[in-house]
Structure 1
Amino acid sequence: MKKPHLSLCCAALLSSHTAFAESSSETSLEQISVVSARLAQNINELSASVVVLDEQDISARYQLSVADTLRTVSGVNVSNSGGAGKTTALRIRGEESFRTRLYVDGVELTDPTAPQLTPVLDDLLLNNISRIEILKGPQGLVYGADAGGVVSITTKHTEQNIAGSVAAEAAGYGTRQYAATLNLANETSGVYLSASDFSTDGINAQVSDTSGEEDPYDNTTLHLRANHQFNDALGVQLVLRNTEGETQYDGCYDNTTFALINNCITESEQTSARLSVNYQAQNGHHELGYAITEVEKDYFNNGEFGFGNDGEITRLDYHGWFEFGADTLSFGVDIKEEQDNISGESRDNRGYFAEWMSQRIDNLNINLGVRYDDNDTFGNFTSWRGGLNYLIPLQNAQSLRLKATWVTGFRAPGLYEQAYNDGPFAFGDAAGLQLTEETSKGYDLGVIHQISKHTWWSLTWFNQEIEDEIQFDAVSFQGYLQTQGTSESEGLELEAETRLFENGKLWFNYTHMDTEDSAGNQRLRRPEQVANAGYQHTFNNGDTRWSLYAHMEKDAVDIGNTPLNSYLVWHANLNWDLNANWALGAYINNLFDRDYAEVTGYNSYGRYAGVKLTLSF
């Protein structure tokens, strides 16, 4: 299996994970992906289902939050409860948000204070992001627990000696954002620093709040990435990230009267860091990393402190790979500790994995891997992954690619879930119940037809199941129980892209998904049909770019099997490089002012426009 030069491997590692399906301005033959195996691979060699959005794609689908941009990807759906900064759930192929792993520049963004370990999407804005990769399906092999899908994000940076930018943005609903970046680099070292301050008056979060008051949100984020190359083989990288947010929302309880009120505020701070050392051997690579993430949250009701949460995750990991001709062996070890700093509860997980990847037969890529996890809470679990990817050359430089993947994974019971069952509020079957891991497995089969350099289509069938699912007893409120039966998601993802005219790109994806919980009901907030379509056009020698795209959701239900209205929203934006230093961006979201709800009882944004001015140097 051929690997690119070290510089290309490192660049890809800093980016994340990839897929053929939504290729972007690069041709599929040029794309390198890292997310599937945490090493650089040609996207055409992957059996896994991966999607990559590059900087041009992100710009063409511009939204304020990462979650809103991710909803344009096949097999992904997002639900938001009342606007910017409010609870946001990202589901990949129907799985819960807490079965998704999220990384920024290799740093895991997970909230250990939540009832389940949940990716921190509420505070993640799109500013200064250059690449997003999405890996679909249970991914226990490489990523361990809670990986029912993976999102990996790369921030912008350059290799120039000195570069930077300042930007100011204003949009509807009293939205303002100021951002700055600074990049210093030479042949051996580099430092990238970004800072942003975001604020919005927001919208009235809940329909039941008849006062009409708005629920503001504020966010300040600092991000640092620094690296040094001691020689051709040995290098080190440090990533630091801090986000402080304040969210006002509706639907909490007064500390004294316990009455339902709408004067609610959450103040949060997340601090993450990762230090890694990389060594490039003659025919292999080694990486050792140590990371820590701490999240603190304070909740205020009617201006008075209600309660607070404080948790942290530490992780020590090693990953390496060797090449043996047409074979590659990837292997690793990770040790993770989760801790609730309020209760003092903690647990450890040790994972060991290995994967063999081979291209001994022309046009056929094979991968097979196994992982063993040993967890303090429930014991041990073994995960597997296998895949095939076969290229069939056709006439007129066309090709047909067939791929199949089989994967397994698990989710460990959260510290909060087990502590609740061991605490004074649990009763009945839940009292003292020792929860075990949820198990998951998935399959997908895909075909990709490359018609020309810029025209292709793909069709993927997938099936995923969750057994021993942990759920809170919403009927008797006993506590957390392990359900009997299987939750399932099954569907088709259709994607296509073609070049219109010399400078235009038309893209489309459609997902049809049937979901069923252990009781045989449709799973909540998972539309049966989701479609995205867009057109991107470049003119004026590439200095001006405009795009128009639409998002449709149909046939979803909420709590109590209440139908959610189907909807179609349109978005448009324009990006204009005024000269070598100045750039102007403008956008209109929800172009036709469609009224819709993603969660029953919560409002969504109407039509609003924004403008962004950037000075680069």
Structure 2
Amino acid sequence: MRFLPFSLAAATAFAPIAAHAEPDDAKIIVVASGVAQPADEVGRSVTVIDRAEIEQRQTVALSDLLATTPGVTVARNGGLGTATALSIRGAQSDQTLVLIDGIRVSDPSSTGGAFNFASLLAGSIERVEVLRGPNSVIWGSQAIGGVVNVTTLQGAQGLYLRANAEGGSFGTFNGNAAIAGGNDRITAGLTAGYLTTDGISAAADGTEADGYRQFGATGNVQVTLAEGLALDLRGYYADGKVDLDGYAPPAFTFGDTREYAKTQELYGYAGLRHEAFGGRLRNRIGFTLSDIDRDGYTGDDSIAYRYRGRAERYLYQGDAMLADPLRIVFGAEHEQSRIRYDEGFGSTGRYSAGITSVYGQAIVTPIAPVTVTAGVRNDDHSRFGNHWTWNADLAVRATADTLLHASYGEGFKAPTLYQLYSAYGFQDLQPETARSYEAGVRQSLAGGKVALGATWFHRDADNQIDFNFATSSYFNLNKTRAEGIELEAVLRPVAAFTVRGNVTHVTAENRTAGSIGKDLPRRPRDTASVSADYRFPFGLSLGGTVTMVGDSFNDAGNATRIDGYALAGVRAEMPVTKMLSVYGRVDNIGDVRYQQITGYGTYGRAAYGGVRVRFQ
């Protein structure tokens, strides 16, 4: 992609290079240590996206917004609803742990156990934290590349209502509604949404559009049972159907077919919270459930495959402030995962695995400007035995406007049941492990009008699991390595004008003998995004985003190149009354033709418009 170096240089010249990570003492981070911390005590790289930014960017699929954040790349097998993989700092997509309202939402029946971002729409989401780098001490298996922590609409005292409806290109309609309320004893939040689209062809050279529809809902209730004791109930449900393309006879080349798939996802949490000693000791016990049904159908509506994945998790977490400079976070968990499948060609199975974990982490502030965090975890897997992971990070407020941060983290991920036992499985697979280092600085200038950040990172992974197309089975790569730098900033010369941008350079390579120096598939070395928004005194908001993605390779042998691309979009919103506004956007305004995965289609120019209602 020859234009990329020039584009990055241009972005650097015209705007600070980045987004989302301005130093803000009032910002609270949960994903770094599993408990709420001020941002200036966190020694790890975390991006925070709130509801205001989701609405400003008019986000429908959360993955599209995450793709504009530092260190994150996204690849989708066609239009909305098709398989969507997210990679952090060059890691495998199934090495990203996803949490929705504290529930691990990985699919035990999928190939690598990864969460499919295709189903995660933004209508119900209030806040997202993206932690870049391993953090298995707190979050356990799968947190090798990073963690995406999603919070949906929560209950609150009083009454809050919002709704929006939009339509546009490709026969698309998207509607969402949310209500939250409560009093000092009980609060609750509920959201519901429906999306339907005619879509585009999943095959790049196809002519038949592949549509998608989804109904989704979230709910949560918090009940104060007694002083210091509360009950938490949370749930998330998504039901989707997506049309697919495949390999039809007699040529068996990828193209238009009438195949489709249905997916139902149900995630739930029930738990108790207890506070004692004036809030200096907090305890939480809970149970989480993940239940995913995936069915594939042929063009004549016959069943092609069935997958059933279920994970039950029992957990305890303690959070003790032993003294002002010392905080201890500790816990124990047990997860039981189960899969059932019928792959449609005589391959059927039913398997389960369990993992029991204990962990502890100390957060120490020896002097006010310095916070040190260190922890250890033991995972006892029913098949692979005990494994220890460690982490440590440091945050130093060097001056009122300068934060230095550094961290070391380890990751651990056992092979999935599918990778071990399916028709493509290999039972001698070994667990994946990783060690990661990072160091960086966050700087505020001009009285907070400019915020800059720079982070260097390095990760070595052992036994990374990949698929061998020659043998049609999974295997372990001996070593992989990812190293790079992230630059990020926010410019607010006046309250009404915000410019955000970021640049990431990462080299993600296979370090296994015979393949040393080969780029890992679909890992562009360079990505960048610049976004600007301005609100006029009479209420009109105008904005735009440019996202640039460099060249990559579609295959492990680096024989098939995927050309880089740059996409630009514009948006506007205008209030009509205090409660009602109208909005619209044009995506890929240049009608750029590009691919994220060789042979799969992507959207051209598209326009959408809608209305938004809010009452509080």
Same fold (TM over 0.5): yes
Amino acid corresponding to residue 365 of structure 1 in structure 2: T
For residues 288-333 of structure 1, the C-alpha deviation after alignment (integer angstroms, 9 at most, x for no partner) is 1101011111111122211211110110111111112211111011
CA contact (8 A) 2:220 2:235 kept: yes
CA contact (8 A) 2:171 2:199 kept: yes
Amino acid corresponding to residue 275 of structure 1 in structure 2: A
Aligned ranges for residues 358-369 of structure 1 at < 5 Å? Answer: 358-369=364-375
CA contact (8 A) 1:22 1:53 kept: no
Q: Offset of 1:231 from its aligned partner?
A: 3.5
Secondary structure class of the residue paired with 1:216: strand
Aligned ranges for residues 368-387 of structure 1 at < 5 Å? Answer: 368-387=374-393
CA contact (8 A) 1:83 1:603 kept: yes
Distance 1:36 1:516 in 2: 27
CA contact (8 A) 1:253 1:301 kept: no
Residue 457 of structure 1 corresponds to 452
Distance 1:476 1:287 in 2: 47
Distance 1:359 1:248 in 2: 54
Distance 1:531 1:448 in 2: 19
* Greater shift in the superposed pair: 567-576 or 522-531: 567-576
Distance 1:77 1:173 in 2: 25
Distance 1:607 1:157 in 2: 35
Residue 297 of structure 1 corresponds to 294
Distance 1:471 1:291 in 2: 29
For residues 530-588 of structure 1, the C-alpha deviation after alignment (integer angstroms, 9 at most, x for no partner) is 011111212336x4422211100112111252221111111111222322221222111
Q: Offset of 1:253 from its aligned partner?
A: 5.4
Aligned ranges for residues 3-402 of structure 1 at < 5 Å? Answer: 22-23=19-20, 28-148=24-144, 149-157=146-154, 159-209=156-206, 212-252=207-247, 262-282=257-277, 283-303=280-300, 304-323=302-321, 324-342=323-341, 343-393=349-399, 399-402=401-404
Distance 1:214 1:186 in 2: 48
Secondary structure class of the residue paired with 1:597: coil
Residue 582 of structure 1 corresponds to 580
CA contact (8 A) 1:571 1:591 kept: yes
CA contact (8 A) 1:196 1:220 kept: yes
Aligned ranges for residues 413-432 of structure 1 at < 5 Å? Answer: 413-420=415-422, 430=426
Residue 533 of structure 2 corresponds to 536
Amino acid corresponding to residue 421 of structure 2 in structure 1: A
CA contact (8 A) 1:312 1:341 kept: no
Secondary structure class of the residue paired with 2:142: coil
Q: Offset of 1:182 from its aligned partner?
A: 2.4
Amino acid corresponding to residue 192 of structure 2 in structure 1: A
Secondary structure class of the residue paired with 2:138: helix
Amino acid corresponding to residue 609 of structure 2 in structure 1: V
Amino acid corresponding to residue 186 of structure 2 in structure 1: S
* Greater shift in the superposed pair: 307-316 or 155-164: 155-164
Task: Give the alignment's TM-score, normalised by structure 2.
Answer: 0.90
Secondary structure class of the residue paired with 2:120: coil
Gaps of 5+ in 1: 1-20
Distance 2:221 2:123 in 1: 19
CA contact (8 A) 2:156 2:188 kept: no
* Greater shift in the superposed pair: 465-474 or 67-76: 465-474
For residues 478-507 of structure 1, the C-alpha deviation after alignment (integer angstroms, 9 at most, x for no partner) is x222233x1111000001112123411111
Secondary structure class of the residue paired with 1:67: helix
Amino acid corresponding to residue 113 of structure 1 in structure 2: S
Higher relative contact order (CA 8 A, sep 6+): 2
Q: Offset of 1:187 from its aligned partner?
A: 1.6
Which residue of the other structure, out of 463, 469, 472, is the alignment partner of 1:468?
463
Q: Offset of 1:251 from its aligned partner?
A: 1.2
Residue 491 of structure 1 corresponds to 484
Task: Give the alignment's TM-score, normalised by structure 1.
Answer: 0.90
Amino acid corresponding to residue 566 of structure 1 in structure 2: G
Residue 598 of structure 2 corresponds to 600
Distance 1:258 1:592 in 2: 34
Q: Offset of 1:592 from its aligned partner?
A: 1.6
Amino acid corresponding to residue 406 of structure 1 in structure 2: Y
Q: Offset of 1:360 from its aligned partner?
A: 1.0
Q: Residues 471 and 566 (structure 1 numbering): CA distance in 2 closer, same or farther, change over 3 Å?
A: closer
Distance 1:165 1:62 in 2: 14
Amino acid corresponding to residue 338 of structure 1 in structure 2: S
Gaps of 5+ in 2: 1-17, 342-348
Secondary structure class of the residue paired with 1:59: helix
CA contact (8 A) 2:135 2:143 kept: yes
Q: Residues 50 and 27 (structure 1 numbering): CA distance in 2 closer, same or farther, change over 3 Å?
A: closer
Q: Residues 575 and 128 (structure 1 numbering): CA distance in 2 closer, same or farther, change over 3 Å?
A: farther
Q: Residues 235 and 22 (structure 1 numbering): CA distance in 2 closer, same or farther, change over 3 Å?
A: farther
Which residue of the other structure, out of 434, 442, 446, is the alignment partner of 2:436?
442
Secondary structure class of the residue paired with 2:123: coil
Q: Residues 27 and 74 (structure 1 numbering): CA distance in 2 closer, same or farther, change over 3 Å?
A: closer
Distance 1:155 1:168 in 2: 19
For residues 239-258 of structure 1, the C-alpha deviation after alignment (integer angstroms, 9 at most, x for no partner) is 1111110010111557x998
CA contact (8 A) 2:293 2:308 kept: yes
Amino acid corresponding to residue 364 of structure 1 in structure 2: V
CA contact (8 A) 1:553 1:567 kept: yes
Q: Offset of 1:445 from its aligned partner?
A: 0.6
Q: Residues 259 and 460 (structure 1 numbering): CA distance in 2 closer, same or farther, change over 3 Å?
A: closer
Amino acid corresponding to residue 397 of structure 2 in structure 1: L
Q: Residues 613 and 472 (structure 1 numbering): CA distance in 2 closer, same or farther, change over 3 Å?
A: same
* Greater shift in the superposed pair: 100-109 or 519-528: 100-109
Distance 1:322 1:402 in 2: 26
Distance 1:410 1:46 in 2: 22
Distance 2:183 2:110 in 1: 42
Q: Offset of 1:160 from its aligned partner?
A: 4.6
**RMSD (Å), alpha carbons:** 2.0
Amino acid corresponding to residue 333 of structure 1 in structure 2: A
Q: Residues 156 and 281 (structure 1 numbering): CA distance in 2 closer, same or farther, change over 3 Å?
A: same
Q: Offset of 1:144 from its aligned partner?
A: 0.5
**Percent of aligned pairs with the same amino acid:** 25
Distance 1:318 1:438 in 2: 26
